[in-house]
Amino acid sequence: MSENPKINIVNPTAQLKTHFRWVIMGIIFVTYAINYMDRTNIGVVLPFISQEFGLSNFEAGALASTFFLGYAASQIPAGFFFSKFGTRGLVSLSILGFSICTYLIGTSSSPFMIKVYRFLLGVSEGPTPVGCVSTINNWFPAKEKGTATGLYIASTMFAPILVPPLVVWIALEHGWRSVFFWFAVPGFIMAIVWYLFVKSSPEKSEHVSASELAYIQEADTTAAEKVQTTVKKSLGWIDSFIRAKKVAILDSNAEVFKSRNIWGVCIAYFLMVSVLYGLLTWIPSYLVKEKGFSFMKMGLVAAAPWIGGFIGSIAGGWLSDKIFLKRRKPTMIITTLSTAIMMAVLINIPNNANLVAIALFMTGFLINVGWPAFTAYPMGLASNSTYPVAISLVNTGGNLGGFFSPMIAGLLLDKFSSFTNVFLYFGVAAALAFIILLTIDEPVNEA
């Protein structure tokens, strides 16, 4: 007798197939969009906070950076917790915690208190992304993981599309503190929704049919699909270039920490997160100070890179699954190289609102074409039980880039009073990430 009654049937695909995994994907999308809105709103209010407290660019950057110190600190402990106990309870508490911290930032009476609450915001947000991607890993078959991860990453771009114009309007009408009061509300709702509907694995959910469970576990792969997988298992010269090969699955957490490939993608992610969060923090100030835009125009143009990023992340996940046959390195390589090129474009772009918006749109699109692959890549190396630790290690290293980058950019602005050296710094980071990615393997483990 099978231990799982849901798949103890003669023909699971003949039963009514539910699609509840996509409901789960919708909850993940909304949850992480809220998570991202609560961490990125600081970039838009920085000009208001700096004006009130008389902050230097370095001090303003430090307000954003303290979040990532707390965020990085909680990733690996969360990964170990999820690998042992599942995602449901801790993710719900994480959402509740970061919503409370978002509210508290609005009560701050000094820059020091903003830093304290931003640090606590990072600590409380840390478990959410590890829980989200671990849920994707458990709830989706291998052939859909890249697409699902692309949608997850798209939520991080959907949030900054809404944030700049919404934050500017709230801050101008009600003051910058009200931004954090308003932004705290959605998280309280989603903490309840997550706990009620998102179980750690699909077999624990009463909303998943036996047929869908079999599909998620890839028990219903048809003969035609198997033939297609066999025929289309090589990308020719691309596989040679990306070092595609069979690799041993990392079955223990000790193996995760010893993996050259995990550490390679971790360092590359550190460099690319330095670029992404540097842009998230400083693009609003760049538009106001360097380009002379009004706050309202800034709120509109500052959304451009994230509109591009939203499209790019969905396209990148699909490309990774369908065109590159679950290879993750191709889109990561495209992203790192093209991002370095776009930083040169931003340095030389004329002071024209339409051209600036187009350049920022393309920057966001190209950064995010490969962004889902950084999260999906460890799925090809780790087992379901070790993936939470693997992705928490990658996220920890990556988000340390988010800690250092805003402050380094602020120092460069204080010293040179121009964004040219800031974008040069971002471009060098992207180029180094490109070089590092060339040294790691692409895991291909199909028979």
> Does residue 398 register a pLDDT over 50?
yes
User: Tell me, what's the pLDDT at 276?
Assistant: 87
Assigned token pair, 152 = 């997850």
At 294, the amino acid letter reads: S
Distances (CA, A) of 440 to 26, 209, 264, 273, 359: 33, 39, 6, 18, 31
Percent of the chain's residues with pLDDT above 70: 91
Q: What is the pLDDT averaged over residues 1-18?
A: 51
pLDDT confidence of 14, banded at 50, 70, 90?
Answer: very low
| d(C-alpha 372, C-alpha 139), whole Å | 17
Of the listed ranges 2-11, 113-122, 358-367, the one predicted with least confidence? 2-11
Cβ(332)–Cβ(438) under 8 Å? no
Q: What is the pLDDT averaged over residues 275-280?
A: 86
User: Tell me, what's the pLDDT at 221?
Assistant: 43
SS percent in the chain: helix, strand, coil, step 5: 80, 0, 20
User: For the segment 96-149, what is each residue's pLDDT rounded down to a tens digit?
Assistant: 999 999 999 999 999 999 999 999 999 999 899 889 988 998 999 888 887 888
| CB neighbours of residue 355 within 10 Å | 12
Assigned token pair, 257 = 């920490």
The pLDDT mean for the chain works out to 86
Q: What is the pLDDT averaged over residues 141-163?
A: 82
User: For the segment 400-429, what is each residue's pLDDT rounded down to a tens digit?
Assistant: 888 888 889 989 989 888 889 999 999 999
Q: What is the pLDDT averaged over residues 39-55?
A: 88
Percent of the chain's residues with pLDDT above 90: 40
pLDDT confidence of 296, banded at 50, 70, 90?
Answer: low
Domains 17-221 and 232-446 share a fold: yes
| CB neighbours of residue 8 within 10 Å | 11
CATH of 17-221, one of 3.40.50.150, 1.10.3210.10, 1.20.1250.20, 1.10.10.410: 1.20.1250.20
Name every residue whose Cβ is closer than 8 Å to that of residue 161 and which is 6 or more positions away in sequence.
Answer: 303, 306, 307, 310
* In the chain, where the domains are located: 17-221, 232-446
Q: At what angle do helices 88-105 and 176-197 cross, to 10 degrees?
A: 170
Determine if residue 383 is left, alpha or beta; phi over 0 gives left, psi from -120 to 50 gives alpha, anything else beta: beta
Strands (E) located in 216-256: 244-245
User: Tell me, what's the pLDDT at 15?
Assistant: 53
User: Tell me, what's the pLDDT at 445?
Assistant: 63
User: For the segment 203-214, what is each residue's pLDDT rounded down to a tens digit?
Assistant: 999 999 989 998
User: Tell me, what's the pLDDT at 95?
Assistant: 96
User: Tell me, what's the pLDDT at 299?
Assistant: 67
Q: Homologous superfamily of 232-446 in CATH? A: MFS general substrate transporter like domains (1.20.1250.20)
Distances (CA, A) of 297 to 185, 271, 303, 305, 307: 27, 30, 10, 14, 16
The pTM of this model reads 0.73
> Does residue 3 register a pLDDT over 60?
no
Strand partners, 250: 382
Strand partners, 244: 442
Residue located via tokens 């710094």: 425
User: Tell me, what's the pLDDT at 13?
Assistant: 42
User: Tell me, what's the pLDDT at 110?
Assistant: 94
Strand partners, 245: 443
User: Tell me, what's the pLDDT at 280?
Assistant: 77
User: For the segment 239-277, what is each residue's pLDDT rounded down to a tens digit?
Assistant: 888 888 888 899 898 999 999 999 999 999 999 999 988
> Does residue 73 register a pLDDT over 80?
yes
